[in-house]
Structure 1
Amino acid sequence: MHKTNIRMLVLCSLIASMALIGCKKSNLVNGKLYLYNWTYYTPDSVIEQFEKETGIDVIIDNFASNEEMFAKVMAGGNEGYDIIFPSSDYTSIMIKLGMLEEIDHSKVPNLKYINPLIKEKATYDSNFRYSVPYFMGSSGIAVNKAYAPANYNKDWSIFADKRMAGRMSMLDDMREVMGGALKYLGYSGNTTDEAQLQQALDLIVNEWKPNIVKFDSESFAKSFARGEFWVSQCYPENVFSEIPEEKWGDIDFFIPPEGGMMYIDNMVIPKGSRNYDSALKFINFIHRPEIYAEFLDEFGFPPTTNTKAEKYMKNHNYFFTAEDMKNSDNIMDLGIDLEKYNNIWQTIRYQM
């Protein structure tokens, strides 16, 4: 073989290799999906199955609060993300600011499985034009029956029960605590009426706060599990994750009949997403009933959001149902009226 032919062969091989590398690089760029989700809110098994079925690599960044997420997005940190998972109040803000792409419903046929109750509660985007519900959940009240007196009230007035003074906690969350008081008084948990807010302040400060050890959103579940708290306003998954399953029978979790504050976490596609179609594929994949059942089983969530997932679930020990939330109010963006809540919360937390 002549050297000239060898050189030509090597050159052709090099060109072919570079072309393959270029194709591979292009596929990798277009075959990625960037999620920005709450910490510990995306099951590994679901991600792995999506990657296997589609060949799309999923990269996940996490946030711990809506405020953290929104601050990063507003600072330009959303560049490169394809799906973000804000709660309803921040979804509303992002819609108003024109930050989101519209959802092409023709590419998300599994929207048909969304619980109709969510349409009623999701007034910020009831037709899912810019958002698709990820999970509808709620806080509530957990009572350790091994310690609490047998005849406690199963409503918000439990926090006025002096028999359990020094054994109760409430969330360190302005909207949750004030929302509970407002609902107990018969008002909307999103009211901006100053007279109603004053009544809520008086109720919390004069009747509830004297019996509460502290407002706590971080360590309350461990304290509850140790028997230090007998009653806690909480998210049930936090409490039950700290208690052995054989002792779950000692715990009474309920959403007060007058309702409380609930939440809807959503999937949204930010403006500028470079993988819009892949994002829609993922959103549709999540709401495939058997896939959504995996998500619920992973975290012990009830089937409040997807109407067909329940029959695929392995876990049927639900802490609450969608029906339990029928009188609850979804936490909404209050705009400039949020300052009214901030001022009252400062009084509740640090004065009197």
Structure 2
Amino acid sequence: MFEKSDNKRGDSVIRETFRKQGFRILLSLSAILLLSVGCSKGEANKKLYVYNWSEYMPDEVIAEFEKETGIDVVYDVYSSNEEMYAKIKAGGGGYDIAFPSSDYAKIMIGEGMLQKVDRSKLDNMKHLDPDFLAKMTFDPQHDYAVPYAMGAVGIAVNTKYVKDFPRSFDIFKMEKYKNRMTLLDDMREIISSALLIHGYDQGSTDPEALRKAKEEALAWKKNILRFDSEGFGKAFASEEYWVAHGYAENINSELSDEQKKHFVYFIPEKGAMMAIDSMVLLKDAKNVEAAHRFMNFIMRPEVYVKIVEHFNMPSINVEARKLKSIPDLYPIEELKRATVLEDIGDAVQVHNKIWEEIKLAR
């Protein structure tokens, strides 16, 4: 039992002790909290979730980025724009960066699925070709889309069999090569090309424009063996096709060194369609700082040249062109006359109807 006077003094000591200990505990908790927040932010920036086309980036590039930055890249793939769009739209994946083609980039911008990039953190954009940046009318200020790769659908010719041909879609009107030619089984590519040849916009719904486009496509169709978007590269290599509408990289990869001596590839003078696939920062991206570091790293010339050489594709990076040690499959100047494929909105329904009529025609 304490005496009364001693109890008052004891209470005072206890209160002072608790006050000092409480202050120390508060400081400790604050430090722990700050450390925890710092660790969380640091941990977040050590991860980057990338959603890209299948086989669209060399493993060595990802490994080099991870080694240089200490950021772990979690890499997932898709096989079509539709697959990518549907998954992200549904809120799946938790990705930071995706790689949509120009038409889907336009859709994603319009639907608020992306956040703006911080151009101040992307100083390597200075290396990109202004002529091709100007083609990105779906994002004219480059607020959302950072170009990754570009390419056009052109025409491959086996010059062992095909002589004196026009460097245009008129090659498909040459009856002497009937059933030795193919066009892509792709509504957007065929209808858009036919419209552009006659001076119309790729998204036109004008009845006269569509009539001319349909007639043009039918004139091509009567001489082709089939529409083919799957096996055109292998079929060209086996000489089933002597003329093939398709991607240079797909065809070239199937050819032997001997076959390449008879391989000519060109971008048509009129009607050529091209795509620009871009790196975009998704609206719900958590690792924004890491995403910017990754995009800027990709645009570094000595890194980007590894990508274009791996796939033997044209370089949108001017400085990387100077470092490239293998020849381009076609002159970059030809690509400049191509039109970027963009989303055409409700016009796609009208075009689908025309496409069905073309496919069913005999």
How high is the TM-score relative to the length of structure 1?
A: 0.89
DSSP 3-state at the match of 1:308: helix
Partner Cα distance (1:297, 1:75) in 2: 35
* In structure 1, C-alpha distance between the alignment counterparts of 2:130 and 2:300, rounded to whole Å: 17
Deviations 1:168-212 (A, max 9, x none): 11111111112222233233334332311221111212x111111
Distance of 2:357 and 2:83 partners within structure 1: 25
Match of 2:217 among 204, 207, 229: 204
Shift of 1:26: 7.8
The counterpart of 2:345, out of the listed 335, 347, 352, is 335
Deviation at 1:279, TM superposition (A): 0.4
The C-alpha deviation readout for 1:38-89, integer Å capped at 9, x for no partner, is 1110111111110000001112111111111111122222x41010000011
Specify the code of the residue in structure 1 equivalent to 2:351: Y
Q: CA deviation at 1:25?
A: 8.9
Question: Residue 119 of structure 1 contacts residue 127 of structure 1 at CA under 8 Å; is this kept in 2?
Answer: no
CA distance in 1, matches of 2:346, 2:257: 44
Whole-Å separation in 2 of the counterparts to 1:314 and 1:28: 39
Query: Is the Cα–Cα contact under 8 Å of residues 189 and 260 in structure 1 kept in the other structure?
Result: no
In the alignment, what sits opposite 1:265? Answer: 277
Q: Secondary structure at the match of 1:141?
A: strand
Deviates more, 1:195-204 or 1:319-328: 319-328
1:302 to 304, 311, 314: 314
Amino acid at match of 1:50: F
Percent identity, please.
Answer: 44
The answer to whether 1:311 aligns with 2:322 is yes
Are 1:190 and 1:329, in contact at CA under 8 Å, matched by a contact in 2? Answer: no
Assess if the C-alpha contact under 8 Å between 1:35 and 1:58 holds in 2: yes
- Looking at structure 2, the residues matched to 29 and 121 of structure 1 have their Cα atoms a distance apart, in angstroms, of 35
Aligned to 1:9: none
What RMSD over aligned residues (CA atoms) do the two structures have, in Å? 2.0
Question: Which residue of the partner structure matches residue 50 of structure 1?
Answer: 65
Partners of 2:331 and 2:55 lie apart in 1 by 22
**Residue type matched to 2:350 in 1?**
K
Instruction: Determine the structure 1 residue equivalent to 2:18.
Output: none
Give per-residue Cα distances to partners, 1:311-337, cap 9 Å, x unaligned: 22221x211233212322111111111
User: Structure 1 residues 109 and 23, CA, compared in 2 at 3 Å: closer, same or farther?
Assistant: closer
Identify which of 236, 247, 262 aligns with 2:259.
Answer: 247
Aligned to 2:225: 213
**1:153 match: secondary structure:** coil
State the number of aligned residues: 328
Report deviation, 1:254: 0.3
Corresponding residue of 2:91: 76
Which has the larger Rg? 2
Q: How many Å separate the matches in 1 of 2:86 and 2:226?
A: 28
Secondary structure in 2 matching 1:262: strand
Gaps of 5+ in 2: 1-36
Name the CA distance, whole Å, in 2 between partners of 1:198 and 1:349.
15
For residues 3-22 of structure 1, the aligned pairs below 5 Å read: none
Asked whether the 8 Å contact 2:194–2:271 carries over to 1, the reply is no
Matched, 1:94 2:94: no
Q: Is the 8 A contact 2:274 2:338 kept in 1?
A: yes
Unaligned runs of 5+ in 1: 1-21
- Aligned counterparts, 1:51-200, within 5 A: 51-77=66-92, 79-148=93-162, 150-200=163-213
Match of 1:284, as an amino acid? Answer: N
SS at the partner of 2:90?
helix
Q: 1:329 to 1:203 in 2, by over 3 A?
A: same
Equivalent position to 1:33, from 48, 53, 61: 48
| Aligned residue in 1 for 2:360 | 350
How far apart in 1 are the matches of 2:84 and 2:61?
23
Secondary structure, in 3 states, of the residue corresponding to 2:217?
Answer: helix
> Are the counterparts in 1 of residues 192 and 271 from structure 2 also a CA contact under 8 Å?
no
TM-score, scaled relative to structure 2: 0.86
Matched, 1:322 2:332: yes
> Cα distance, 1:137 vs. partner?
1.0
Deviations 1:87-144 (A, max 9, x none): 0110000001111010100101011111111232110112110110111210100011
Shift of 1:29: 4.8
Whether the 8 Å contact between 2:195 and 2:271 is mirrored in structure 1 is no
| Cα separation, 2, equivalents of 1:258 and 1:265 | 22
